[in-house]
Amino acid sequence: MGLRSKHNEATALVRQMTLQEKASLCSGKSFWYIKGNERLGLQPVMVTDGPHGLRKQTSSGDHVGLHTSVPATCFPTASALASSWNPQLLREIGVALGEQCVAENVAVLLGPGVNIKRHPLCGRNFEYFSEDPLLAGEMAAALIEGVQSQGVGTSIKHFAANNQEFGRMFIDVVVDERTLREIYLPAFEVAVKRAQPWTVMCAYNRINGTYCGEHDWLLNQVLREEWGFEGLVVSDWGATNDRVDGVRSGLDLEMPASGPDNDNKVANAVASGTLDEATLDTTAIRVASLSLLGADNVQNTVALDQVAHHTLARRAAAECAVLLKNADDLLPITKTTSFCVIGAFAKQPRYQGTGSSQVVPTTLDNAYDAIATLTGRTDIAYAPGYHPKSDALDADSIDTAARLAAEHDVALVFAGLPTIYESEGFDREHMRMPEQHNLLIEAVCRANPRTVVILSNGAPVEMPWIDQPAAVLEMYLAGQGGGGAAADLIFGDANPCGRLAETFPLRVQDVGSNPWFPGGDGRQVHYREGLYVGYRYFDTFNVPVLFPFGHGLSYTTYEYDDIDVSPTWSADREPLSVRVSVTNSGERKGSETVQVYVRSPAGAAYRPVHVLAGFTRLPLQPGEIGEAIVTLEPRAFACYDAEAQRWVTLPGEYEVCVGASSRDIRQTAVVQVRSEDAVSRTLRGPSMEGGQLQVDDAVFADMLGHAIPPPESTQPFHRNSTLNEIAAVRIGRIFKDFAMRAYLKQLGGLSDPTLARMFEEMARTMPLRALPLLAGGGGGKKGISNAHIDALLNLVNGRFLKGLWQLLRVQLHR
């Protein structure tokens, strides 16, 4: 049941509202509540983060995970979940999340995040599913279906092209429409069309000059008209730039509370005729519908089974883990093997990321205890090897660990990225693990090559030591059940069946988008690599990688035979079915993820060599032969012709390739595609020269279909200048210090170094217009108000007298 079910009731209510009431309905009541309308009996309802657990704050609210929240099951984060390639699992987790929301009277869970991993250093990649839009969309749709089956809404985020943390509140993503349509939008499109999330959260950034929250093309034309979205668009927290433009362009709800300023602007715009009242009515009806639907459902009750949810979290973590390497089938080891446990993460697990998604878990497994329980042993030798929260070098700890490894048959080394290495709010600086972790692994491997490395990290890392350990198990950020899951996998109680939902590059310099990430010099980031994201780049140009997209080993083996697909297909026909038989040729039961890639003929459009077109998971007993049936949607063969504004399917010989990764193709078949389509002009794209993508200004302009837009000027300073930028002048520096202190005070002090770093980065690059919202005030009595910002702009732009006079007036009227 979606928002539409409340349309009539909501319309009747909005008809009874005054102009001011309607305007006011469309902004938050507080950090987490939607206002409602007391006079008309419309209740305030709560929305809250998301995505892999519930972060319900009952006292102070914040959008960075600073203040505590009620305990809730912490499931694996999105990069792990996507590695399951198992929509059914995502649905189950969605149901559990929905139940928790019902139990806590939360109307909308703010997730999932489906932004594409354009570059492995995006600080928030742990919260996103994949570098592939089809996989990300399928995972998101399943999670949404699960949550919403419980009568709780979701907020798919961050719409759109929010692929980095650097400058996220002002950066302008310059990207061609074909790339948007084929890479950055389809995950949203799949999820919206399939699962109708109650809400879509618009991103902070701009796309081609326009903030996502005032992007009529994005919100009204594409999302609503083309995809048929029936729900409400909510701003990311503090993303509102021009509220009136936002209403005009389809941004319904501004979050969090912004004080009366923006509501007044909206009401005044209607009164003065610059905003159509019917547009405001439509917006208000959507917000009222959400309140009504939310209020209905939060009256439900559910008997929460926390133990069952934890069991699900543990099973999910095991299903998500990816066995990257397993020389001589070292894994699984028997419970009686002589082994030692090395690495502080075994006792103090790294299991989720920092920022708005941070959950207080109901309980937390650690691998050391789980191994002890599973093996029934009480004497497991252990050495920490490093400090869990810092990357300081410590040779003694390494020596002790190496000695321990030499005394045992197998060494289990838990390593990865400490919290400070990846977080919302800032991007990673490099793709390396801490040197201490690398040195530890190398030393342990020298002492005992029968070493298993178990990794906890939210995104790819370089592995300079990859030839040395016998086995590597990628757990990602596995949630509260991750420790137990690691034990299950190491000792063979579970069989790894995860597959990478992203490529692990050898070096960050090898990544297609690397020359243009994160951009920002001129407040712009150019997506010059176009379609060449992830494996689309690596595979097209045969760039060596550490582990390819889709890779993952198992304790059993699978054989593929007898591909069966129609030899011809017409573009105007039904989806195309691909069948292949898969045999479990090993001795353990397992689940194989059968991946289907479509390889296009060379032609008039630049294209990646192949794209993922479908997949399925096949559970198989030892010796069992199963049939994988994968349905390819017509879109799998199409490309977007931006000039003609339509999807086109070019005729020709396509290859349907079935395999166990993008580089492990086991069966292929040729399909002759019949179509009358042609592209309106040759679609040019980047080329490869000297081992790097070349996209000069002429090619990029050609991709864009127009000249590259100049970046926004930084002077004179304006409402979207950042604290960092205004610090170029003395008075700006003084204000920056003051604002940072005010923000810090609001957050209540920061002792955690990752939070401190996140705060620092966010504050430095926060546009001035967001300060009233996120540093308190919003026209209210305390904090920084919009009037303060106006005064400040006069001051930093050299209009001292005017600025001072304004400041005086603001203070006098408080």
List b or e across 16-32, with b for residues whose CB sees 16 or more CB atoms inside 10 angstroms.
ebeebbbbbbbbbbebb
Does position 49 bind ligand BGC by CB under 6 A? yes
Q: Which residues contact residue 12 at a Cβ distance below 8 angstroms, ignoring those fewer than 6 apart?
A: none
* Residues binding ligand BGC: number (CB under 6 A): 8
Residue 382 or 426 with smaller CB distance to ligand BGC? 426
Q: Strand 639-641 to strand 524-526: parallel, antiparallel, or no bridges (unpaired)?
A: unpaired
Q: How far apart are CA 335 and CA 491, in angstroms?
A: 6
How far is C-alpha 480 from the geometric centre of its chain's CA atoms? 19
Least separation in angstroms between CB 30 and ligand BGC: 12
Q: How far apart are CA 44 and CA 35, in angstroms?
A: 5
Least separation in angstroms between CB 159 and ligand BGC: 11
First to last CA, the chain: 46
Q: Strand 610-620 to strand 558-564: parallel, antiparallel, or no bridges (unpaired)?
A: unpaired
Least separation in angstroms between CB 38 and ligand BGC: 25
DSSP string, 745-805: HHHT---SHHHHHHHHHHHHT-BGGGHHHHTSBTTSSSSB-HHHHHHHHHHHTT-HHHHHH
Give the side-chain half-sphere CA count within 13 A for 576.
Answer: 29
Which residue reads 């582990």 in tokens?
547
Does position 236 bind ligand BGC by CB under 6 A? yes
Residue 65 or 586 with smaller CB distance to ligand BGC? 65
Least separation in angstroms between CB 446 and ligand BGC: 43
Residue 199 or 600 with smaller CB distance to ligand BGC? 199
Least separation in angstroms between CB 110 and ligand BGC: 4
Closest to 7 measured CA to CA, from 202, 242, 288: 288
Work out the number of other CB atoms within 10 angstroms of the CB of residue 555: 20
Least separation in angstroms between CB 49 and ligand BGC: 5
Q: How far apart are CA 31 and CA 48, in angstroms?
A: 9
Least separation in angstroms between CB 357 and ligand BGC: 7
Least separation in angstroms between CB 788 and ligand BGC: 22
Residues in region 684-743 near ligand BGC by CB under 6 A: none
Does position 56 bind ligand BGC by CB under 6 A? no
Q: How far apart are CA 50 and CA 64, in angstroms?
A: 12
Q: How far apart are CA 147 and CA 100, in angstroms?
A: 10
DSSP helix, strand, coil percent of the chain (3-state; round to 5): 35, 20, 45
Residues in region 546-605 near ligand BGC by CB under 6 A: none
Q: How far apart are CA 512 and CA 537, in angstroms?
A: 6
Residue 172 or 236 with smaller CB distance to ligand BGC? 236
Residue 117 or 310 with smaller CB distance to ligand BGC? 117
Cα distances (Å, whole numbers) of residue 505 to 204, 508, 529, 538: 28, 7, 16, 9
Which residue reads 């400041």 in tokens?
807
Using CA atoms of 111, 114, 115, 118 in order, give the dihedral in degrees to the nearest 10: 140
Name beta bridge partners: 598. Answer: 611, 656
Least separation in angstroms between CB 467 and ligand BGC: 39
Q: How far apart are CA 107 and CA 95, in angstroms?
A: 14
Does position 245 bind ligand BGC by CB under 6 A? no
**Which of 84, 125, 354, 356 contacts ligand BGC by CB under 6 A?**
356
Q: How far apart are CA 82 and CA 79, in angstroms?
A: 5
Residue 50 or 332 with smaller CB distance to ligand BGC? 50
Backbone angles phi, psi at 687, to 5 degrees: -125, 165
Contact flags string 4-43 toward ligand BGC, x per CB under 6 A: ----------------------------------------
Whether residue 176 lies in the annotated active site: no
Respond yes or no on whether the N-terminal peptide bond of residue 133 is cis (omega within 30° of 0).
no
Residue 416 or 458 with smaller CB distance to ligand BGC? 458
Does position 237 bind ligand BGC by CB under 6 A? yes
Write down the catalytic residue from 172, 236, 263, 641.
Answer: 236
Q: How far apart are CA 344 and CA 342, in angstroms?
A: 7
Q: How far apart are CA 412 and CA 372, in angstroms?
A: 13
Residue 122 or 331 with smaller CB distance to ligand BGC? 122
Residue 160 or 508 with smaller CB distance to ligand BGC? 160
How large is the C-alpha radius of gyration of the chain? 27
Least separation in angstroms between CB 57 and ligand BGC: 9
Contact flags string 404-433 toward ligand BGC, x per CB under 6 A: ------------------------------
Q: Strand 652-661 to strand 590-599: parallel, antiparallel, or no bridges (unpaired)?
A: antiparallel
Identify the H or E element spanning 82. helix 78-83
Q: Strand 199-202 to strand 153-159: parallel, antiparallel, or no bridges (unpaired)?
A: parallel
Residues in region 655-674 near ligand BGC by CB under 6 A: none
Least separation in angstroms between CB 559 and ligand BGC: 43
**Which of 35, 157, 428, 610 contacts ligand BGC by CB under 6 A?**
157
Closest to 442 measured CA to CA, from 474, 466, 472: 466
Least separation in angstroms between CB 766 and ligand BGC: 11
Does position 499 bind ligand BGC by CB under 6 A? no
Work out the number of other CB atoms within 10 angstroms of the CB of residue 750: 16
Residue 63 or 536 with smaller CB distance to ligand BGC? 63
Does position 63 bind ligand BGC by CB under 6 A? yes
Does position 199 bind ligand BGC by CB under 6 A? no
**Cβ proximity of 94 and 146 under 8 Å:** yes
Least separation in angstroms between CB 601 and ligand BGC: 41
Residues in region 81-140 near ligand BGC by CB under 6 A: 110
Q: How far apart are CA 294 and CA 253, in angstroms?
A: 15
Residue 177 or 236 with smaller CB distance to ligand BGC? 236
Residue 156 or 553 with smaller CB distance to ligand BGC? 156
Residue 110 or 565 with smaller CB distance to ligand BGC? 110
Q: Which residues bind ligand BGC (CB under 6 A)?
A: 49-50, 63, 110, 157, 236-237, 356
Catalytic residues: 236
